[in-house]
Amino acid sequence: MRLDEARARIAERAELNAFISISEETGSGTVIAVKDLVDVKGLPTTAGGIILPRTPAADDAPVIKRIRAAGCVVVGKANLHEFAYGVTSVNPHYGTVRNPHDPTRVAGGSSGGSAVAVATGMCDWAVGSDTGGSIRIPGSLCGVAGFKPAFGSIDVAGVVPLSKSLDTLGAMAPDIAKTAAAYAAMSGEEVSLDGLTRPRLAMPEGWVTDLDEPTTGAWADVARDLPAVEFLDRGPLFEVGLTILLFEAAAYHRRWAEEMPEKYGADVLRLIRRGLEVTGEQYRHALDERQRLEAAAADAMSDIDALVLPATAIVAPPERHGPEVREQLSRFTRPFNTTHQPVAVVPAPVRAGLPVGIQVVGHTNAETLRAAAWLEREWSTVRE
């Protein structure tokens, strides 16, 4: 893809609100969209809000320097849920990121613009971030592949934080092969998808319940031959991660929320204020529990290569839905931010209707991507 082709596609689908700013870069290379909380030299970093200064970044974040060294050019900064603090990418400042499969529905968040850019061919691949599901949720809702690597795999310097104990950068692309190549460019870790063999896969027993009708149908096809294994309870994993997120996000935003609350969207301000109610004791206990749960998750998966389960409990909801869909969209993603595990998302072999994403949760980055690539290959024969 050329930069001019990407810019033309962005202009043609401007109603999707996928981008906040477009670069003036020239040259050739792999065309990348960057979620607008990562510094790109010459472009302002808004984080999807209106509080940060609009001055252009003086330098690239380390991850951007890496991808440039790998031969990439940046077409622009992708729209997102304000300050990456939400799962829909309904943004009051830069417009709702609309789902390309049905523009009356949301793209998911918080990396909604990145997912839409990939799904509509506005770039070759995109940089996203994931703190509670922010790559996997929009990947699922928009029908693209994505990867949240193990915590700490990619340098997050030069990135506006949400939760320092959970924030992870990752890649979104049309398929797992391109996602793996993008991850390698971002991290420096080479991942080979040659010689794929059948991994030992299972679903977590008792986890997958209360799905909407389209997701139920897609999951039934995927889960037909999957054994169930005993895994950790979903509830504590979700709540521990949420406690850490609420506390750390509130600490970062406290001063702004007190001095200029009117500059936040209502949903984000509500979450910040909720986080201010989390005590230091509750936070420290959650940090201790997170470490225990991470070790327990590894033990529970000692006999399998990867867990397989839906990314979301519902397909893309209409834009009018608000906080009531937050749990349904993050129910299956947030637990694996708590455990710091690598997770890929792959579109399920849906025959019609809105996309459904499937998570592949592994031990290492390479093993997870290889398991996801094997599933994608197997499913390719049943896609229409």
131-153 residue pLDDT tens: 999 999 999 999 999 999 999 99
**Is 298 domain-assigned?**
yes
Residue 159's pLDDT is: 98
Q: How far apart are CA 120 and CA 105, in angstroms?
A: 15
Whether 22 and 115 share a structural domain: yes
User: Could you tell me if 173 and 127 are in contact, meaning their C-beta atoms sit under 8 angstroms apart?
Assistant: no
146 in the same domain as 74: yes
Catalytic residue, chosen from 23, 89, 111, 134, is: 134
**Residue 384 reports pLDDT greater than 60:** no
Catalytic residue among 21, 23, 89, 110: 110
Q: How far apart are CA 197 and CA 194, in angstroms?
A: 9
Indicate left, alpha or beta for 188 from its phi (over 0: left) and psi (-120 to 50: alpha). left
Find residue 106's DSSP bridge partners: 98
pLDDT bin (cut points 50, 70, 90) of residue 382 is: low
Residue with tokens 């995927």: 222
In 41-128, alpha helices (H)? 62-69, 112-119
Amino acid letter, residue 79: N
Q: What are the φ and ψ backbone dihedral angles of 308, each rounded to 5 degrees?
A: -125, 130
Q: Is the pLDDT of residue 120 over 90?
A: yes
What pLDDT score was predicted for residue 170? 98
Rounded to the nearest 10°, the torsion over CA 83, 38, 127, 156 is: -100
Distance of CA 103 to the CA centre of its chain: 20
- Would residue 77 show up in a list of annotated catalytic residues for this protein? no
Position 196 in a domain: no
DSSP-based three-state secondary structure for 332: coil
Same domain, 346 and 210: yes
What mean pLDDT is predicted for residues 155-161?
98
Quick one: 157 and 233 in the same domain?
no
> Based on the domain organization, do 156 and 240 belong to the same domain?
no
Number of H helices, E strands in the chain: 12, 13
Q: Which of 27-41, 149-163, 316-330 has the lowest mean pLDDT?
A: 316-330
If asked whether residues 233 and 134 sit together in one domain, one would say no
- Boundary-marking domain end, from 154, 187, 220: 187
Give 323's pLDDT tier (boundaries 50, 70, 90).
Answer: confident
d(CA 51, CA 256) in angstroms, rounded, equals: 8
Of 127, 110, 148, 163, which is closest to residue 43 (Cα–Cα)? 127
Would you call 192 exposed, middle or buried from its count of C-beta atoms within 10 A (0-12, 13-18, 19+)? exposed
CATH code for the domain of 240:
3.90.1300.10
Strands 98-99 and 30-35: unpaired
Residue 242, in any domain of the structure: yes
pLDDT at 232: 98
> Which residue's structure tokens are 């330098």?
59
Q: Is the dihedral of CA 355, 270, 343, 331 positive or negative?
A: negative
Please tell me the total count of domains within the chain.
2
Pairwise CA distance, residues 245 & 242, whole Å: 5
Q: d(Cα 203, Cα 221) in Å, to the nearest integer?
A: 13
Domain identity same for 11 and 150:
yes
238 and 297 share one domain: yes
**Residues 282, 253 within the same domain:** yes
Q: Are residues 120 and 236 in the same domain?
A: no
Tell whether omega for the bond before 110 is within 30 degrees of 0, i.e. cis. yes
Please give the radius of gyration of the chain, using alpha carbons only, rounded to the nearest integer. Answer: 19
Q: For residue 193, is it within any domain?
A: no
Question: Of 289, 182, 307, 304, nearest to 241 (Cα)?
Answer: 289
- In-domain check, residue 304: yes
> In this structure, are 211 and 148 located in the same domain?
no
Residue 163 lies in a domain: yes
Instruction: Give mean pLDDT, residues 16-26.
Output: 98
Point out the domain boundary residue: 187, 213, 238: 187
35 catalytic residue (yes or no): yes
- Whether residues 137 and 257 share a domain: the answer is no
Known catalytic residue: 110? yes
Is 384 inside any structural domain? no
Catalytic residue among 21, 23, 35, 330: 35
Q: How far apart are the first and last CA of the chain?
A: 25
Packing angle, helices 62-69 and 176-187, rounded to 10:
110
Give the global pTM.
0.97
Residue with tokens 């974040």: 61
Each residue of 197-245: pLDDT tens digit? 999 999 999 999 999 999 999 999 999 999 999 999 999 999 999 999 9
Length of the chain measured in residues: 384
- Name the token pair of 112: 């909604």
Give the structural domain span for 318.
201-379
Measured distance CA(161)–CA(93) in Å, rounded: 19
Among candidate residues 156, 187, 218, the one where a domain is terminated: 187
d(CA 112, CA 318): 14
Residue 177 pLDDT exceeds 70: yes
101 domain residue, yes or no: yes
